[in-house]
């Protein structure tokens, strides 16, 4: 497997392998040992969904040193994480809705981990065996609310505040990826996953020592420096090396 997407056609929702723009429907459990149709699925009436339907979304904060500095916060001694509502998920091409236009609301480009097997209390060395793949994400944040509260779940869980996808890349090297965000064609964030304070394997291990992770669960791994406000009409494009870009607009 390489790029895996999740789609809706009529009332049916299914996963498919994406090869040169063609979709080969998956048969069986996407997290098991699925097979794929030999003939591509017709694209008529096809809608792209977030690539997985997680039981939980876990966001990691301040995982790039340069971002911690721009937020005037000390570097964490261990991963800082919280939960985002699954109802905040938004597919590629969807519109980010700003609930309070008078507030500052920011973009945050992130690499996301997708869990492939039930996992509890594993070491960093073993963590890779439980990762299904990686995808592109944003952690949209109402900064006005965030700066007024000690908990970060509300400011980051509004509907449409977690753009995700379009596909899960199952063969990516999470330690060696460029990550960029373009706002209306201008490069705003430009970094590399090697700059993470806690790498993906460590994050999976650390989180699994605190709670059980299930297939399809998503971990957002933090954003680099360069965050900034969004406004109605913006076009936001997140590019991670070798991945299909994640593109969303703002209203």
**What secondary structure, in 3-state letters, does the chain show?**
CCEEEEEEECCEEEEEEEECCEEEEEECCCCCCCEECCCCCCCCCEEEECCCCCCCEEEEECCEHHHHHHCCCCCCCCCEEEEECHHHEECCCCEECCCCCCCCEEECEEEEEEECCCECCCCHHHHHHHEEEEEEEECCEEHHHHCCCCCCCHHHCCCCCEEECCCEECCCCCCCCEEEEEECCEEEEEEEHHHECCCHHHHHHHHHCCCCECCCCEEECCCCCCCEECCCCCEEEEEECCCCCEEEEEC
Query: How far is it, in rounded angstroms, from Cα 54 to Cα 24?
Result: 22
Task: Give the pLDDT score at 68.
Answer: 84
**What pLDDT is attached to residue 174?**
97
- The pLDDT value given to residue 153: 95
**Are both 167 and 70 inside the same structural domain?**
yes
Does 234 lie in the same domain as 160? Answer: yes
Q: Are 231 and 113 in the same domain? A: yes
Output the domain CATH number for residue 30.
Answer: 2.30.30.370
Give the pLDDT of residue 1: 58
Handedness of CA 33, 17, 122, 85 (dihedral sign): negative
Is there a single domain that holds both residue 45 and residue 61?
A: no
Residues 116 and 17 in one domain: no
Domain region containing 36? 3-49
CA neighbor of 82 nearest in space, from 220, 184, 208, 175: 220
Q: d(Cα 150, Cα 142) in Å, to the nearest integer?
A: 13
Give the pLDDT of residue 71.
82
**Can you give the pLDDT of all 251 residues of the chain as single tens digits?**
589 999 999 999 999 999 998 999 999 999 999 999 999 998 788 999 999 999 999 999 999 988 888 888 888 999 999 999 999 999 999 999 999 999 999 999 999 999 999 999 999 999 999 999 999 999 999 999 999 999 999 999 999 999 999 999 999 999 999 999 999 999 999 999 999 999 999 999 999 999 999 999 999 999 999 999 999 999 999 999 999 999 999 99
Indicate whether 45 and 97 sit together in one domain.
Answer: no
Whole-prediction pTM: 0.96
pLDDT, residue 18, reads: 95
107 plus 225 within the same structural domain: yes
Say how many domains are in the chain.
Answer: 2
CATH code for the domain in which residue 200 is found: 3.90.850.10
Regarding whether 102 and 9 lie in a shared domain, the answer is no
Predicted local distance difference test score (pLDDT) of residue 2: 87
- Rounded Cα distance between 232 and 67, Å, is 25
């Amino acid at each position: 497997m390489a790029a895996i997407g999740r789609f809706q056609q009529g009332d049916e929702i299914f996963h498919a392998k994406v090869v040169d723009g063609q979709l080969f429907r998956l048969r069986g459990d996407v997290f098991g040992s699925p097979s794929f149709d030999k003939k591509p699925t017709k694209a008529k009436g096809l809608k792209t969904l977030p690539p997985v339907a997680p039981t939980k979304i876990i966001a990691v904060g301040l995982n790039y040193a340069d971002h911690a500095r721009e937020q005037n916060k000390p570097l964490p001694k261990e991963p800082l994480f919280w939960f985002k509502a699954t109802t905040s998920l938004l597919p590629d091409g969807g519109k980010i809705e700003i609930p309070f236009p008078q507030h500052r609301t920011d973009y945050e480009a992130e690499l996301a981990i997708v869990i492939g097997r039930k996992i509890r209390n594993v070491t960093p060395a073993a963590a890779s065996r439980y990762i299904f793949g990686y995808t592109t994400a944003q952690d949209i944040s109402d900064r006005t609310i965030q700066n007024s509260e000690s908990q970060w779940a509300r400011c980051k869980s509004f509907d449409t505040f977690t753009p995700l996808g379009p596909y899960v890349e199952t063969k990516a090297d999470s330690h060696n990826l460029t990550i960029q965000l373009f706002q209306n064609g201008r490069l705003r964030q430009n970094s590399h996953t090697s700059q993470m304070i806690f790498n993906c394997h460590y994050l999976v291990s650390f989180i699994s020592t605190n709670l059980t992770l299930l297939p399809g669960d998503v971990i957002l791994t933090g954003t680099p420096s360069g965050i900034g406000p969004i406004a109605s009409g913006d076009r936001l494009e997140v590019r991670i090396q070798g991945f299909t870009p994640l593109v969303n607009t703002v209203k």
